[in-house]
């Protein structure tokens, strides 16, 4: 009898669990298109040099995670600051996505993988070209899509940082003016 009650209780609990919403292929395709459009918009804004607009869809929630080339930023603000610091030294930047692949994992979440090519022209330096991969998790939070996790990786990040570091400022040659008192050569 106890065994029968346990089975009935477990069956009852299982019946009370909310069922996950099954999505049709059309719903998945529409959601993937929406996410793809959002990611394209972010790239467009960054290509225009507007990092703030490009990051407007990034979540500032405490559980959001943003990683680039092995470094995880402690917050969205920290990542924005780094991007603003970098963009201040740029004449131009162009990111071209090779693809924006979206995997819908549920009605409120998707994973994006996007290989890209980038060329950047730092002030006073030659154009630098590289390629990499951006991947992110997009979730519907507070009624809108937000990017909650990102990992970006470029090839040879050490070379990229060297190429993008501002050119050193040339120091003026020392003046050959009048010698200091007591330092004149005797004839």
Q: Could you report the per-residue pLDDT of 58-97, keeping only the tens digit for each?
A: 999 999 999 998 899 999 999 988 888 877 788 888 999 9
Closest CA to 60 of 71, 79, 72, 76: 76
Question: Domain limits at 76?
Answer: 23-164
For residue 184, pLDDT beyond 80: no
Q: 159 lies in a domain?
A: yes
Q: Establish if 61 belongs to a structural domain.
A: yes
Which one has a higher pLDDT value, 163 or 150? 150
What is the end-to-end Cα distance of the chain in Å, rounded? 121
Tens of pLDDT, residue by residue over 104-147, are: 999 999 999 999 999 999 888 999 999 999 999 999 998 899 99
Residue 12 lies in a domain: no
Give the span between the Cα atoms of 145 and 16, in whole angstroms. Answer: 29
For residue 66, give the CATH number of its domain. 3.10.450.50
11 by DSSP, 3-state: which? helix
Q: Is there a domain that residue 171 lies in? A: no
Q: Does residue 55 form part of some domain?
A: yes
Give pLDDT tens digits for 3-30. 554 444 444 545 555 555 689 999 999 9
Indicate whether 58 belongs to any domain.
Answer: yes
Angle at 104 between CA 61 and CA 66, to 5 degrees: 30
- The reply to whether 95 falls in a domain is yes
**Residue 44 is assigned to a structural domain of this protein:** yes
Please tell me the least confidently modeled range out of 25-34, 148-157, 171-180: 171-180
Q: Are 147 and 138 spatial neighbours (Cβ–Cβ below 8 Å)?
A: yes
Q: Position of tokens 């500032």?
A: 60
Q: What does residue 152 show for φ and ψ, rounded to 5 degrees?
A: -120, 135
Number of domains composing the chain? 1
Dump strand ranges (E) for the chain: 65-68, 71-73, 90-97, 101-106, 109-122, 128-141, 144-154
Q: Convert the pLDDT of each residue in 37-62 to its tens digit.
A: 999 999 999 899 888 888 999 999 99
């Amino acid at each position: 009898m106890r065994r029968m009650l346990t089975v009935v209780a477990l069956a009852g609990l299982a019946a009370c669990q909310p069922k996950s919403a099954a999505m049709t292929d059309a719903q998945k395709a529409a959601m993937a298109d929406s996410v793809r459009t959002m990611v394209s918009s972010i790239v467009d804004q960054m290509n225009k040099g507007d990092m703030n607009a490009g990051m407007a869809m990034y979540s500032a929630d405490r559980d959001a995670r943003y990683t680039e080339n092995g470094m995880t930023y402690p917050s969205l603000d920290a990542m924005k600051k780094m991007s603003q610091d970098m963009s201040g030294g740029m004449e131009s930047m162009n990111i071209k996505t090779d693809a924006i692949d979206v995997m819908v994992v549920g009605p409120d979440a998707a994973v994006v993988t996007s290989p890209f090519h980038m060329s950047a022209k730092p002030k006073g330096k030659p154009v630098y070209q590289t390629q990499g991969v951006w991947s992110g998790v997009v979730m519907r939070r507070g009624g809108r899509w937000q990017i909650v996790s990102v990992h970006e990786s470029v090839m040879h990040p050490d070379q990229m940082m060297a190429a993008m570091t501002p050119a050193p400022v040339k120091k003026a040659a020392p003046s050959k003016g009048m010698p200091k008192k007591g330092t004149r050569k005797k004839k």
